[in-house]
Chain A
Amino acid sequence: MKTLLILLFSFTVNTCLHSQNNDTLFTPSSRKLEPLIGANAGSITGIGFTFQAWYMKNGIQITSMPIYNEEFYYSFGASYLREMVKSKNTRFFLYYGFHSSNFFYSYKDFSYNITGGGIGVQVAHDGIVLQLTGGIAGYNITYEPQINIAAGAGLLYNFNNK
């Protein structure tokens, strides 16, 4: 009986310690809005200045870059992000987005539209966040659709870093 009690106690302590470790590694998503701002370049997510906001496990990202030089050029991207795993400094997420741009064509009325999704990772250090994304996308979906791989990178600043 005494041995059984000792074993039970050991098991309980071990379980508690294990759960504490998990909490340390994967912090629960806060209910506070988490805004980030920076620059991004991606075939699905868009090119230019970017704003990202997370609320619990859901996030949105808006990327835009208007350029005027006798003619008007633009890139606009909007993405939905879904958090999968989050640790203290790293966050893995799934994303799906849409990107419209006329950067790559000389005639301004032609919009090149891309949509697709994939997986992304954010690595943070002292408020500075490096974001890498990769996936698969349908390119030029409104004229001549093609399916190809997609990639993107971004550098962001997290306002809720303290």
Chain B
Amino acid sequence: MILLKNTYNKNNKHYCNKFEHNSISKMKTKSIILLYVSLLSISQIYCQHTEQTLSRNMFGINAGALTGLGFSYKRLFANSTIQMSFIPVANFSTDNDNSDDFFIYSAGISYIKTLQHHKYYNFTFYTGTHVTNMFTEYSAANIGCGLGFVFNTNFYNINLLLGYGAFDFLNETVLWPSAEIGWFYYF
């Protein structure tokens, strides 16, 4: 461009200016197209990210006396959540000696209601029931309710709940405080 400018500068100043002007315009156009493509790419990435955060399904792990132990699924609604936790542990031998065989499990279902929304967490009420034979010879059922916090990020959330429950209420009722913790990932 400089060479052309020098060549034509003496003879035809007007032509040189026009040529220079066209080159700059082309560069500007290219820059605008490049910027547009970049912005489009960024917006696409952002859209994907937003869709991820808006998912209503969460999967994770949970441990709680009222909400259950093990793998856990959460279904999110506007101001409430249904949570289900389950874990089976079994040992079945193939030979005739069945003395080491066992099957233990934990299954829990709970309902979480959001009372107040905050930027990083929700203050919640929860109620749940949990059936397990992990700590007794038979299946014991627990039921109760409480309050707690659900901390939110764009990718996962953490449940920290504190409540009060009736443990093994079908047989020997024990009234005792309860705590629940859970980690869930959006999918």
A binding-site residues for B, Cβ under 8 Å? 37, 39, 48-49, 65-70, 126-128, 157, 159, 161-162
Contacts and interface: CB of A to CB of B under 8 A. Distances in A.
B147 A67 contact: no
B79 interface: no
B121 to A, nearest CB: 8
Contact of A69 (B118, B162, B174): B174
Contact of A68 (B116, B119, B173): B173
Q: How large is the interface on B (under 10, 10 to 19, 20 to 34, 35 or more residues)?
A: 10 to 19
Interface of B: 116, 118-121, 123, 147, 149, 162, 164, 172-177
A64 to B, nearest CB: 10
A106 to B, nearest CB: 17
A69 B167 CA distance: 10
A65 B177 contact: yes
A66 B162 CA distance: 15
Contact of B147 (A37, A48, A126, A127): A37
B118 A126 contact: yes
B118 A48 contact: no
Given A67-B175, A67-B176, A157 B147 contact: yes
Residues of A contacting B: mostly? strand
Contacts of A39: 162
Nearest to A69: B174
B164 A49 contact: yes
Contact of B119 (A49, A65, A67, A126): A126
A157 B123 contact: yes
19 contacts: A37-B147, A39-B162, A48-B177, A49-B164, A49-B177, A66-B175, A67-B176, A68-B176, A69-B174, A69-B175, A70-B172, A126-B119, A126-B121, A127-B116, A128-B149, A157-B123, A157-B147, A157-B149, A159-B116
A127 B164 contact: no
Contacts of A67: 175-177
Contacts of B172: 70
B64 to A, nearest CB: 16
A9 B164 CA distance: 63
Contacts of B174: 68-69
A101 to B, nearest CB: 15
Contacts of A126: 118-121
Contacts of A157: 123, 147, 149
A159 B162 CA distance: 17
Ranked nearest first, the 7 interchain pairs of A and B with the lowest CB-CB distance are A68-B175, A69-B174, A126-B118, A157-B123, A67-B176, A39-B162, A67-B175
B44 to A, nearest CB: 33
B120 to A, nearest CB: 7
Contacts of A49: 164, 177
A150 to B, nearest CB: 22
A128 B150 CA distance: 12
B118 A127 contact: yes
B114 to A, nearest CB: 13
A123 to B, nearest CB: 16
Given A37-B147, A39-B162, A157-B147, A127 B123 contact: yes
